[in-house]
Structure 1
Amino acid sequence: MTLDQPNIRRESGDDRRLAIAAAARAIIIEKGLEGLRTRDIAARVGINIATLHYHVPSKEALVALVADSLRRDFRAQAARRPRAGKSGLEQLHLEFDDFRETVLEMPDLIIILTELIARARRDAAVAEIMIPMREFWRKQVADVFRLGIADGSFRPDIDPDAAALITTGALSDCWRRSDISRSLLDQVLAELERAFVQTPNPLQE
C-alpha cells in the first residue's frame, strides 16, 4: 500500500441501520406496511439479504428500527423548542407547535406512524413496539398538565391523566384526517387550550 492511497471509509453498523430504516420508511410511504419486502429494502440500500438480516433479523426488528427512527425525529423536533423553565401553558403551546409542524410540514411521518398504529391493532409484536411510544407521549402531556396546575396556568380541578387522554386523542384524530387544514387544526388546538386554561376570576380582580 502506498502512502498516497486514499483511505476508504467503511460504513459503520449505525450508518447501515440508518440507511435500512430510511429505505423501509420510503417503501412504507409508497406501498404501505403490507408492501414492505426485505428484498426491496436490501436493493435500495445496496446490500444483500444476508447483510440485511444481520442488522434486522426479523420483521419485528425491522418495525422496531423504523419506530426508533421516528422517536429520533420527534426528539430532534422537541429539542428545537426547549421546554426548560417554561410554564405549563407555554409547554402546551410548544406541544401544539410540534404537532402543527408534524401534520402540516412532515406528512411522511404521519403516514408511517398511521401505518404502524393500524398494524398494531392486529399484530401483537408491533403493538409491543408502538403502544409504549403512544403511552410515552401521553405521559409527557400529562406532566405538562401537572406542571400547569402547580403553576396556576391550568384549572386546579383538572385530572392530568384524563386531560392528556383527551388531548392526545383529539390530536391523533386530526392526524388521521386527510382533509385537515391549518385553520381547522388551529381551531382544534384553541378549543383544547380553552378547555383547560385557568381564566381569571372577575371577583378577585
Structure 2
Amino acid sequence: MKSEDCKSLDPTAPGKRESGDDRRIAVAKAARAIIVEKGLEGLRTRDIAARVGINIATLHYHVPTKEALVALVAESIRAEFRAQALRNSREGKTGLEQLHLEFDDFRETAREMPELIIILTELVERARRDAAVAAIVLPLHRFWRGQFADIFRLGIADGSFRPDLDPEAAAMIATGALSDSWRRPDTSPSLVEQALAELERAFIRRP
C-alpha cells in the first residue's frame, strides 16, 4: 500500500493514519454521495476510489465486490437509523408513545437526512430485479417492519391500541404508508402529517 493511501481523510491531520473502519466509513460515504447524484446504476468503483483518495486495489481490499459495496452502504444506513433511535430512549414508554417517537424519527429523516430516502428508494427499486441486492436490502426493511410490529404488540398489551389489532398487518400498513410518502418528492408536509394522524386513529383504542 502506498504511503498516501494511509493518510487520514481529514485534511487538518495529514499525518494521522486511519483505521480499516475509518476507511470503510469513507467508502460508504462516497458511495452514498454517488448514488444520490447518479443513482445506483451510476455507481462506479473508480469514482468511489477517486473521492476517497485511494487506488482501486485498496478499494477492492475493503469491498471486493459490488454486492459487498451495497452491503456496506446498507449497513451505514442501518447504523444511522440505530443512532437516531438511541437519541430518544423507548424504555418505559407505552406503545402509543413509541409510535409517536417512530413518527418523529420519520419526520427528522425527511427533514434533515433526505439523502437516506433517495438511497433507500434506489436500493429497494434495484432489489426488485436483482436478487443479490434484495438479499442485502430486504432484511433491512423487514427489521424496520418488525420494530413496528413489536410496538403494536406492546400497545395492545398496555391498552394503547385496539385489542383486535393485528400487529403484523398494522406494521405493514404503517411502513407501507411511510415508504410511499418517501418515494413521492412532491408530497407536502401537511399531507404527511394528515397521513400520520390517520394512521394513529386507525390503531388507537377508543374509550
Residue of structure 1 equivalent to 2:183? 176
Q: Over residues 34-75 of structure 1, what are the superposed CA-to-partner deviations in whole Å (9 max), with x where a residue is unaligned? A: 000000000000000000000000000000000000001101
Tell me the distance in 2 between the aligned counterparts of 1:68 and 1:112.
12
Using the size of structure 2 for normalisation, the TM-score is 0.92
Give % identity: 76
Instruction: Summarize the alignment of residues 184-199 of structure 1 with structure 2, pairs less than 5 Å apart.
Output: 184-199=191-206
Matches within 5 A, 1:25-174: 25-174=32-181
Shift of the alpha carbon at 1:8?
3.8
Q: 1:203 aligns to what? A: none
Give 2:16's match in structure 1, choosing from 9, 17, 39.
9
Equivalent residue letter for 2:36? I
Deviation at 1:104, TM superposition (A): 2.5
Question: How many residues are matched?
Answer: 195
CA distance in structure 2 between the partners assigned to 1:107 and 1:156 by the alignment: 36
Give the TM-score normalised by structure 1.
0.93
- What amino acid is the match of 2:158? D
CA RMSD of aligned residues (A): 1.3
Alpha-carbon distance between aligned partners in 2 of 1:170 and 1:57, rounded to the nearest angstrom: 36
Shift of 1:180: 1.4
Q: Runs in 1 of length 4+ with deviation above 3 angstroms?
A: none
Task: Point out where structure 2 has 5 or more consecutive residues left out of the alignment.
Answer: 1-12
Q: Which consecutive unaligned segments of at least 5 residues does structure 1 have? A: 1-5, 201-205
Task: Kindly state the Cα deviation for residue 142 of structure 1 after the two structures are TM-superposed.
Answer: 0.3
